[in-house]
Amino acid sequence: MSRNDVMASTNTKVVDDYSLSRVPEDGKNPLWKVVMVRLGAISCLPILMVGAQIGYGLTFWQGFFAVFVGSILLQVVGWAVGTIAAKEGLSTSLLTRWTGFGKFGSSLIGLIIAITCFGWFGIQNSVFAEGLMVASGMFNLQVWSVIAGIVITLIVIFGFRFMSYTANIFLPLFAIGVFYAFYKMLGGHNIGVLMTEPAPGAALTMGAAITVVAGGFILGAVITPDMTRFLKSGREVFIAVLISTFVGELVFYTLGSLMAHAQNTADVAAIMYGLSGALGLLLVVSSTIKINDVNLYVASLGITNFFALTFKRQFNRGLVTLFLGVIGTILSVAGILNHFVTFLTILGVTIPPIAGIAVVDYFILKRSRAELDESREKGALPESVEIWNPISIITWVLSSLFGYLVTSIGIPAINSLVASAILYYVLMKIFDKKLKNAAAVHGSKEEMGDRKYASQS
């Protein structure tokens, strides 16, 4: 093989980013790179606004407790699913093939996650563009939407490596901008007094505050595998999730809460933008760019998995990213996606149960562990996969409905996740311990979706 062939092969792997295969040992990343990407996705203006919302309705220490509890819930979920990914080197949608859902279920999950993240990419792109227009005073919303969409798409085409570069640049810039805004907004206020005074706004219940924290980032916790598959061990996953979750949540809660107390308002973002054009521009760019690249990246992985299973076609993840980026940008310019916020919110309720089912199947039932262990030694995917698992699909639907309908107690997202874990375990024990063997296809290319996905992806 010539040097040019080797370089071309390497570039293809970089762009495809192991979308349909395990991440090999030489493809793993240092812990700090994964921490920066995940922390960058969490450290954004929406988190700061959540901190202000909670701080406006609770005393500082009441709010701190709510954020701490919510962060623990996110830590547990992210660590559990992230550890599986680090060991197996598989993305979220690909991993679900062998953690309870089978071929059909994995295809459906990939599509739902992709639609959800793609929708939020388009909506965030509109927010990004609007912030750029207001802060810069130049062009119109449509022009900035195109510019923002192109920038994010180009970053994501080249995968995790370029997303890491982006986080390394924009996370420090965002922190600098936020701390400067914090300094300006605090003015002559005494921090000690702000931390002990009553809530400045209408009272918020502790349960509602925890719900805002845990429910607001549960999607990010469930798709943790898309980041942590680049780590080497569960220990690294624990550290990465711990730092990104607690630093991101607690630090920005503290800043947002104190800003809300000092300014006597929960809408601190509007005040921050108004401090100066340059600062507003810095905050918009540094906040949005590192969370929206994650949205598009996860969507590209989900769609790649969906087409591989449903249509037996392997599409390069870079090309899928380009397609999604162009379509998302067009819809963003047209303003269409802004009408789908409610739909995406409802769709988000279906995602937490995925984690509950996957964790129970992998760690407790261990239905595909033998195949995963054997294939991992070869650096390939298992050569067998069940077509579908009706128990997981039934559990998924019922748990999603439970999370959507039961809102009077607990946290809807966590309710659906816990319900899915319990229900899946019970149903699997009751109905068919040998369900996987009955539905599995061993060595059948047709039903497997072509075995080349196991050896070449």
Which tens digit of pLDDT belongs to each residue from 43-100? 888 888 888 999 999 999 999 999 999 899 999 999 999 999 999 999 999 999 999 9
Provide mean pLDDT across the span 442-450.
43
Which tens digit of pLDDT belongs to each residue from 173-215? 999 988 988 888 888 889 999 999 999 998 888 888 888 888 7
Which tens digit of pLDDT belongs to each residue from 262-290? 988 888 777 776 666 677 778 888 888 99
At 297, is the pLDDT very low, low, confident or very high (cuts 50, 70, 90)? very high
At 131, is the pLDDT very low, low, confident or very high (cuts 50, 70, 90)? confident
Q: Which residue has the higher pLDDT, 238 or 206?
A: 238
**Ordered structural domains, the chain, with CATH:** 27-455 (1.10.4160.10)
Output the CA angle 416-122-323, nearest 5 degrees: 105
Q: Scan for tokens 């996650």, then name that residue.
A: 113
Q: What pTM, to 2 d.p., does this model score?
A: 0.88
Q: For residue 387, how many C-alpha atoms fall within 13 Å in the half-sphere facing its CB?
A: 7
Judged against a pLDDT cut of 80, whether residue 345 lies above it is answered with: no
Which tens digit of pLDDT belongs to each residue from 141-165? 999 999 999 999 999 999 999 999 9
Which tens digit of pLDDT belongs to each residue from 358-403? 999 999 999 999 999 999 999 999 988 888 899 999 999 999 999 8
What value does the mean pLDDT of the chain take? 87
Percent of the chain with pLDDT over 90: 57
